[in-house]
Amino acid sequence: MTTTGKLTMDGEKVMSFDPFMPLSGNYFYHTGKTHWLAAGAEALTKFLQSSNPPEFRTVLGVVGDYDENTPSHYTGPLYFDFDSDEIAEAVENFKAFLAKLRELEVDLYTCRLFASGGKGFHIEIPQAVFMAKSPAGGVINIPYIFREIAHALYVNTLDLRVYSAKKGRMWRTPNRLRDNGCYKVPLTVNEALSITAETYFAFVAAPRPFPPLEPPKFSAALALAYCTARDKVTNAGKLKRNRNPSKTAALLQARCKAVGAALPPSLLALGAGLMKPREGAGFNQIAIQLCTAAHAMNMSEDDLVARCAGLIAHHEGDGKRYGTPSKREAAFRAMFRYTFDNPCYEFSVGGVRSIFPVSAGLHDLRGL
């Protein structure tokens, strides 16, 4: 049996259940390589209060019974995940993000802040901070809505891959021993604002009790960000129902397979730096079209980045934001993760044509 070692360094008993963030709905959990198992909020609460909690559980609850063929309605906090190979980079960007939340008049004392025990951080913001009233029936597509908010507030090391729908996103359980000998632990606001790369691993060396949270305080600015994101996702869904993106993707796959190409030759040439984009086409706009085409072709992130090495190395313009190859690669990877399984973005021949000069011809895209 793997236990959490339920004592802090001071001998205080702790658990993996956050008493200030109660659960609601139905969840999934797993430990190691086991299958995902289902549990209602009451059962999962007891499990998290035990001496042997699961390693992971979904961060959002599904309202009602889960059906893989029907879009789910969810309830739960707005969440963010920061991860980096360099702990100093994660610390810097975590603090920068907290500053953005404060600019939106989000009271950090109402939010749950974690050091994840690897080289990152987690944030959970109660719904009452950005919703005047939480719908009893949950919210459809809320992971996609949360991803739009994350994209709008983006800082480096913020992981945009964690906003998955269906059963939801697995979220590491706090105060449970990790394979690296550390723990995901809650932080106070003062600790989060003062943590450094040097002190990080002292915090995650042992379980820690959950600091009390202040009652949620409504943030009009974050609520506006939520409503804007919700409307974008909702409108994208309506437009998608009037098109057949899967048919376009299938045609693209068949055409590329026929010529043994990973992407249309025009896009491969653009990525390799052998074709020039339209004058005035920004790096962000180009990245969107390349990433949506890559998703349609089921291409991996690393494969696409490798095939776009020329563009990443030599693109000019767009000022300081994309001013170096390393910045362009980071932005490119972030765009790949943002557009993956995103109902707001899909492969579009018109979109691809918009990043090329009219003189390009693009015979490889005709008929799609």
Domain identity same for 191 and 267 = no
Residue 13 phi/psi, 5-degree rounding, is -75, 140
Query: Which token pair is 286?
Result: 């180009």
CB 28 within 8 A of CB 39: yes
CB 287 within 8 A of CB 332: yes
pLDDT per position as a tens digit, 274-302: 999 999 999 999 999 999 999 999 999 99
| Residue the block writes with tokens 């960000």 | 225
pLDDT per position as a tens digit, 186-201: 999 999 999 999 999 9
Query: Which token pair is 82?
Result: 């920061």
pLDDT per position as a tens digit, 212-242: 999 999 999 999 999 999 999 999 876 665 5
Domain identity same for 68 and 182 = yes
Strand-pairing partners, residue 140, are 73
The 10 Å Cβ neighbour count of residue 335 is 22
Average pLDDT over every residue of 41-51: 97
Q: 233, 263, 286 — which closes off a domain?
A: 233
Please report, rounded to a whole number, the percentage of residues in the chain having pLDDT higher than 90: 82
CATH number reported for the structural domain that contains residue 126 in this entry: 3.90.920
Q: 206, 233, 260 — which closes off a domain?
A: 233
∠ CA 157-100-118 to the nearest 5 degrees? 30
Domain identity same for 41 and 148 = yes
- The pLDDT mean for the chain works out to 93
- Cα distance between residue 13 and residue 4, in whole Å: 11
Q: 214, 233, 252 — which closes off a domain?
A: 233
| Residue the block writes with tokens 């820690």 | 208
pLDDT per position as a tens digit, 307-362: 999 999 999 878 788 999 999 999 999 999 999 999 899 998 999 999 999 999 88
Domain identity same for 344 and 257 = yes
Domain identity same for 217 and 287 = no
Query: Which token pair is 304?
Result: 């696409």
- Structural domain tally of the chain? 2
Average pLDDT over every residue of 117-121: 96
CB 172 within 8 A of CB 55: yes
Give domain status of residue 153, yes or no: yes
∠ CA 346-349-352 to the nearest 5 degrees? 85
Give domain status of residue 315, yes or no: yes
Domain identity same for 106 and 184 = yes
Domain identity same for 185 and 257 = no
With a cut of 60, say whether residue 87 has pLDDT above it: yes
Residues in the chain: 368
Which residue range(s) make up the domain with 299?
Answer: 243-365
What is the pLDDT, as a whole number, of residue 7? 54
Give domain status of residue 215, yes or no: yes
With a cut of 90, say whether residue 269 has pLDDT above it: yes
With a cut of 70, say whether residue 30 has pLDDT above it: yes
- Cα distance between residue 367 and residue 121, in whole Å: 47
Domain identity same for 117 and 262 = no
Distance of CA 246 to the CA centre of its chain: 23
Give domain status of residue 9, yes or no: no
Give domain status of residue 14, yes or no: no
With a cut of 80, say whether residue 271 has pLDDT above it: yes
